[in-house]
Each structure stands twice: as structure tokens, then as C-alpha cells.
Structure 1
Amino acid sequence: MPKTSIIITFIKNEELSHLLRTLHSVIQRTPVKLLEEIILINDNSHKEDHGMILQNYITTIFNETSIRLLFSNDSLGLQRARLSGFKLARGEVIVPMDSHMEVQEGWLEPLLDVIQQDPRTLASSYLDWMHIDENDSWTYKHGPSTWKTYFEWNFDFGFQDSNKEDIEARQNDVTAPVVSPMCIGSNWAMRKDVFEDIGAFDEQMKAWGGENIDLALRVWRCGGRVLNIPCSHAAHLEQSGQREYRNNQDWSSLMEYNYKRIAEVWLDEYKKYFYYYRPELSAVDAGDLSSRRAIKEKCSQKYNRDFSWFLKEVYPELGIPGGEDNLAWDGVSTKPFLFAL
């Protein structure tokens, strides 16, 4: 199996204990022969325990593991910080990971197995949850292993169970991968050369938000597939107040900019449905899209997969507002119905 580089980014509000818990779980539960390195990206955090204290701990406790601690003097944001780590990665396979995770035994091998079968695969772990209370007491909650990752026309993103037919088809092998339209933002594995071939991350997207939608659409349209792997689990720590940033107007503006870039490039003529649900984004300046459109054109010529193909072959559940193939649709919203003119 190919060796893997794991990229973990962190910022100033990350507790050192949570970061170390992540590192311990990765090192203890990942076969040495499959781990090329762990790259830690300090995204402009000047906290004392994120500098020499962390470096001394790594040197003392993890001295037999290749861990590189790198510091950015600029606040890159999650996506660009990860990309800086991907560029430096020596492993054949890259895995982005949040700095507050706990991987489970056997988490990596099944991801690498499906990548070996098809090198253009993006293989994703299933997420469990860890909750922490005011006494720093942890509770681990297992999530299901049949979910698909999805998005709506307005780019709301989430998880839904597989349909009845898919679940019945997997009864003889509950460990079989689940084909998914989308991927989660972390704990996915992909060959580095394939990631770069399909355009890596959009370096003009800001902070974070939407990059998983952008990546999954490119994987599918550039000859690949997205699989959720039931035998691979990792828990994400949910902390009190963790999602308060979503009420911040600055963060919302960055998300809108990112979403606009995705819609303009990858939805083709179907982008009108995105703008119906997000009309406020019609006037947003998405910046220069020429390099991303060039990637789409290259993939279209080689694999002949447009967004219409994606809707038919990968994600028919998304549906077409107003009826199948109704590109002349002009939605009118009533409660609780949408109908077509």
C-alpha cells in the first residue's frame, strides 16, 4: 500500500491537549509502514504552547515518528494552510485532518485499499463525534456507516442515509464502500498526483467553506469517484461555541464568494437553480475564474462528464426544480411548494 502524509493545521484557539490527543491517536493507530509523515501547520498562532512547548513534546515523545512543525507568518485560513502542507508532502497519498480528531483502529488501511483499486478515488472516513463538557470530560458517540454526503442547490451541505435500494444491495457486504456525491472537509485520502492533476484547491477561495463541494465535483468530473468507507472511522470533537463564527458577517461573505466561484465553474447551465435559491449572490464578484475553467475544459475533453452527467449518474436525488431537464424553469416560491412557469 502507498505511504501517506497527514496534514494537520491549527490556529490560536486550539487547545494543545486536543492537538496532542489527535497526534497520539494517529501515531498509535496507524501502521508505521503506511505513515510517511505528519505535517503540522501552525497558522500564525503565537501561543507559547504552540511553539517550543509543542516542538519539545514532539521531539521527546514522538522522536521515532517523522513530524514536521511548520509556522506561517500570515493567517492563511484552513484551505490555504492545508494546501501549503500538501505541496510539501512526500507521501503518495495525502490526508487532511482537523486538529481535534481521534482516529480509530484500522482507519487508514481501507482508505488506501480502494485507492489502490482505482487511483482516481477520493476515499473518506465516516465521522463519529466526541463531546466535551465544562469539566473536560469526554463522551464518544459512534455515527452510522451508511450515510452519503450531499449538498442542496443552495450549497447547504450535510449527511443523509443511503436509500432503501442501496442499503438492501449492501446487505451481503456491509463493509462495502458507499458511493457519495460529496465528501467531508477532512479525513479523506487521495493520491497527491491525482489531487494536483485535477487542480488541487482553488487558491483564490478564501478562508474555508465550500472547498469540499468544489473538490468532490472535480473528482467526479475528472474521471474519479468519491467513496465513504464504513470500516474507516474518526471522531470529531464538538466544543461549546465552536460554530459561533457562522453568525459572523465576515465569514458569511467569504462563504458566499467561495460558493459563487464553484457555481460559476462547475454547475454549467444548471447554475440558474443555485441563483434562484441564492439570488443575493448574483452580484458577487467571483474574481478571475480562467484557471478553474481551464481545468474543467481539460477534464471535459478527457472524460466527457458534465454536470448533467453528474445529476444523472451520481446524484439524481438532487432533482431539477420544475421537472427533469427543465432548463427554461423560472421558480416561484410559495409555502410550502415550488412550481414552474
Structure 2
Amino acid sequence: MQERAQEKAQVRHILCEKQSKALEALEKLNSGMKFDEVARTYSEDKARHGGDLGWMNRGSMVGEFQDAAFALPVSSIFLTNLLSNTNDPSKNQSTTIKHSKMREEFVMIDGKSVRKIDWHDYNQIAEDNARTGLGEQGQPVEPSMQERSSHEFSKLYRENGFNAYVSDNISIHRSVKDIRHPDCKKKLYAENLPIVSIIIPFHDEHWSSLIRSIHSILNRTPAILLKEIILVDDASTKDFLKEKLDDYVAKLKKTRIIRLKKREGLIRTRMAGAREATAEILIFFDSHIEVNYNWLPPLIEPISFDYRIAVCPFIDIIKWDNFAYIDVWGGEQYESSFKIWQCGGQLKDTPCSRVGHIYRKFNPFGGFSFGDYMTRNHKRVAEVWMDEYKEFIYKRSPHYRKTDAGNLTKQLEIRKKLNCKSFKWFMENVAFDLPKYYPPIPLPPYASGEIRSMTAPLCVDTKHGSEHASFGLDQCLSDHKGIGGEQEFEISWRQDIRPKNREMCFDVPKNGKRAPVVLFSCHGFKGNQHFMYNIVRFAFI
């Protein structure tokens, strides 16, 4: 390995005064002309065009792809060609053109030269970084006890399922924390990207959360890429979402409203917006989101190269109680994933595109329901796309088998018409590692029962606590019949401890001696939920 590390990659470059000459050289290289032949051509042009031919050695492992950085005149464009020390110019590994006046590069995609640029709006970033006040930089806002006990606070919470009182005290133009990976700030994206229509369905959305969603998009989206924002009102009943909203939106750029005469639900409302959209790409957002910096170019660039690709941003959490913008990995939409992959497309997550979303504590719109739509929809997905694998669903959730999924004839005909692949293909080629982490049939626990103290007649009792709840010891139920509690636990095959028949796990949220143990949603990745039982010491470690 040390010998390989000492080998050097040879970087050969051509300097050109004109971008056209550099592109011409790039096309010659990609058409098969050897580097030396291209170099001789530009060496002969030197007297007429001021070009230059040079050699430079740089330490690197053979075969490693790197971009060479040179100090060049402002107007120069350079072409790099990385070669191993075999001095064989035909072994061209990567070819890139960069411009020293701004961050850009040229890459060959499907035989075409594509210019990539830095899409960041540094003026907006600087303006946001200078902002101060409640909630700025995505910081949490903690109301006082007096505010929490007010009638207005409780009323807004009941109506919205999140802390709308805090939302009203945060600027509609507030800044967010840039939580992207540092490498995202360096990435370049194609200069010529398609324009987008953004569709936002809403029903009785709170004023400040809806308006903040709109301004977040307008403030952090390249204007040249945004064709329109379409708000679709799914028969809202709140007065401020009628004439007041019409007047407000009329003053905004590229934003308009369409209104449905009756309540249609999320999917039909999205489709109503899609029928009105005029851009090449459609993006659907909820009505309580905040986009992060440079979110759009990484989201749409893959689509610009292949229309069969569907792309999802990473969804971060805006906490419902204090509006803190926090980092979280997200993923959703089983049917979209199955449908896209099995029918010839690709579904990609883009970690450099981040969008914050408020997850409500509860659904405040309980009056509108199609029954148990979640179970119904899951069964429809299983019946249309999962083939024989649907039996695993029914074994885990037997009540699904009796659920009425409705008429699926049209969906099955579409799958047949598109000649979509089987779900077995999906499991073997796309989700091949899924059974390792999520077995189709749950594995039995390693052990189950009460957790009893060795020094006192007491047992661990979680008392049916919710997420973040702490717990301790209490009288053992097995010794005292008739008292309430939750003292039956399992050590799962994932080596976590959870109350029986619950997806809550013992979790240590902080490092340090005597750190508290609380209940938290089971994540299955060990870490702060990893417990092992020592059979010699009769203790968990």
C-alpha cells in the first residue's frame, strides 16, 4: 500500500485564452484523439492564440480521480487530464474544464459538454446570517409559563396540532440553520436546468405557517428556475384564508391560488394543482415547510439528465412545539418507490436538498375521513405491487387481509401495460439488504419478563409512558396483584429493551455517568439503545 501511495499521477494541462478553444480540445479528447495530438495542436496555436502547454507531477495513488488546482490568469480556462505514471496519454481517466473567474466546470454527459455552476445565493445567505430575533437560524422558541397558560395559546394549539402561538411570534422571513453536509456547499450543478411549478395544497392552514412556507421558497429558490407557486385551497373554512389571502398573494411574485368547491383530500387537491401547472417539473409541498439553502438545483439536476428519475429531498423536522429546525433522515411513500423502480424508473434521495417540515402532534381536522384510509391504502399497495410478498404483510398484520381495498382493476392494468417488473426483482436488485435490518417475519425476542432488582423487591416499571418519559422502580406486579403498571419487557433480536408489544425502547439520550434512561421510538441501530445482558453478573450493560 505504501508503494502505491508513493506513485504519482501525472497532470497534464492546456491553457487557453478562449472558452471555445478549451471546449474544442475537450471534444477532441472525448472523440478518441490522444492527449499528445491535442497538445501539439494547441502548442502550434500558441503563437497565434497565446495558449500554453505544460506538465506537472503531483503525488497521488494511481487511478485516483482528482482535479488539479493551478494559479491561472483570470481569463484562463484549463483542461486537466489525469494519467498514471505509465506516460500513456490514451489512459484518460477524467476530463474537466474550470474557469478561474467563478466556480464552474464542464463535464461530458452522454457525449455532450455540460457547464456546471455554483447556484448558491450568497447575498441571501449573508442577509439571513445577519438576522437576529425569535427563531432565527432555526433556533427553538420556548414560551413562558404565563404564555402557555393563556387561552390564546391553547386555542391555537387545538386548532392546528402544533404551536401556532410560537409560529406567530417568528418572522415569516426567518432564517434557518444550514445543516447540509459541508461537501454540499462545494457542489456545482448544471447551468441549464428546467423550470419548476411548486404546488402547495392546504386546508385551514394557520396563516403564519402558510405564509412562511411561501416566503421560504421565494427567498431561497433561484428566481430563474421558479415558474410559479400554485396554492390549492381544499375548501378551507377559516375567514383569513379567503379574501385576506387573495389580497396578500396578489402582491407576491409568481404566486397564485386556485380554490376547490368542496373538500377533496390531499391527492385530488395535488392533482388539481398539477392540471394548472405550466412548468416542466412539478414539486409538491405541504403547507407548513421551510426550504434550506440551495435546495432546488440538486433536486432537479438528475431529472434534467433522465426524465425517468424521481427525486426526494431529505425531510428535516421543524418541531411542532418550539419550531426548532433539526436534522433528521427522512423517507416516505412506499407506493411511489415500488411503482417507479418496478416500472423502469429510479427513485433517488438527494442529501444536499433539505426541506424542513412541521409534523403535527395530532390531526386537528378529524371531521374529514374516508374511514381507516391508512390500512386501506397499505393493502392497495400490497395487492397491486408486492405479489407473493404481500403474505408477509398479512402475517404481521392479519386484519389487513379482511380490509376492503376497493376496485384495483385499473391499477393492475396499468402495471401490466407498462410491463413492470416483479416485486421479487425489486427485493433482489433495489432493496436487497432490507431483510437484514427488517426481517419479513419478526424474529422472536432473546428473552422476556420482568426486570427485578437484586437488592430490593422492586421491578422496573415504565407505566405505559410516552416518548421521552423517564421511569424507575416500583413494587413488582408479580408480588402485588391488583396494582397497575407496565413491567413486562423483551430483549429483542436487535439487542434493545422494550415494553412488550410496544415500539418504545430504553434509550440513553446523553453520555456520562448515571445518565438517565428514557423511552424513545425504537430505531433498531443499537447505539444509545444497545443493551446486553451479562449472565454472570445478572445485569444489563
Q: Could you state the TM-score of these two structures normalised by the residue count of structure 2?
A: 0.44
1:134-283 alignment to 2 at 5 Å? Answer: 138-143=323-328, 147=329, 159=330, 183-184=331-332, 212-239=333-360, 241-242=361-362, 253-283=372-402
Secondary structure at the counterpart of residue 295 of structure 2: coil
After TM superposition, give the deviation of residue 66 of structure 1 in Å. 2.3
Matched residues in 1 for 2:442 and 2:247: separation? 61
Opposite residue 200 of structure 2, the aligned amino acid is I
Matched residues in 2 for 1:296 and 1:29: separation? 38
Opposite residue 55 of structure 1, the aligned amino acid is D
After TM superposition, give the deviation of residue 214 of structure 1 in Å. 1.2
Q: Is the alpha carbon distance of 1:238 and 1:263 closer, same or farther for their aligned partners in structure 2, counting shifts above 3 Å? A: closer
1:284 aligns with 2:403: yes
Matched residues in 1 for 2:337 and 2:290: separation? 24
Please point out which of 269, 287, 293 is paired with 1:81.
269
Deviations 1:5-60 (A, max 9, x none): 11101112x21100000000101111121111111111111211111111111112
Which 4+ residue blocks in structure 1 deviate beyond 3 angstroms? 242-246, 248-252, 331-338
After TM superposition, give the deviation of residue 252 of structure 1 in Å. 6.7
Per residue, is there more helix in 1 or in 2? Answer: 1
Secondary structure at the counterpart of residue 319 of structure 2: strand
After TM superposition, give the deviation of residue 299 of structure 1 in Å. 2.4
Aligned residues: 256
Deviations 1:233-281 (A, max 9, x none): 1111244x335889x9967711111111111100012111111112101
Please point out which of 39, 43, 68 is paired with 2:256.
68
After TM superposition, give the deviation of residue 333 of structure 1 in Å. 7.6
The residue that corresponds to 1:51 in the other structure is 242
The residue that corresponds to 1:2 in the other structure is 194
Do 2:250 and 2:256's aligned partners in 1 also have CA atoms closer than 8 Å? no
Matched residues in 2 for 1:267 and 1:124: separation? 22
Matched residues in 1 for 2:414 and 2:283: separation? 22
1:30 aligns with 2:221: yes
Structure 1: state its 5+ residue gaps. 148-158, 160-182, 185-211, 325-330
Which gives a bigger RCO, structure 1 or 2 (Cα 8 Å, sep 6+)? Answer: 1
Q: CA RMSD in A?
A: 2.8
1:308 aligns with 2:424: yes
Q: Is the alpha carbon distance of 1:31 and 1:260 closer, same or farther for their aligned partners in structure 2, counting shifts above 3 Å? A: same
Q: Is the alpha carbon distance of 1:276 and 1:249 closer, same or farther for their aligned partners in structure 2, counting shifts above 3 Å? A: farther
Do 1:130 and 1:141's aligned partners in 2 also have CA atoms closer than 8 Å? yes
Secondary structure at the counterpart of residue 425 of structure 2: helix
Q: Is the alpha carbon distance of 1:119 and 1:29 closer, same or farther for their aligned partners in structure 2, counting shifts above 3 Å? A: same
Report the structure number with the largest CA radius of gyration. Answer: 2
Deviations 1:164-217 (A, max 9, x none): xxxxxxxxxxxxxxxxxxx53xxxxxxxxxxxxxxxxxxxxxxxxxxx211221
Matched residues in 2 for 1:111 and 1:250: separation? 33
The residue that corresponds to 1:297 in the other structure is 416
Do 1:221 and 1:299's aligned partners in 2 also have CA atoms closer than 8 Å? no
The residue that corresponds to 2:209 in the other structure is 18
Q: Could you state the TM-score of these two structures normalised by the residue count of structure 1?
A: 0.68
Opposite residue 431 of structure 2, the aligned amino acid is Y
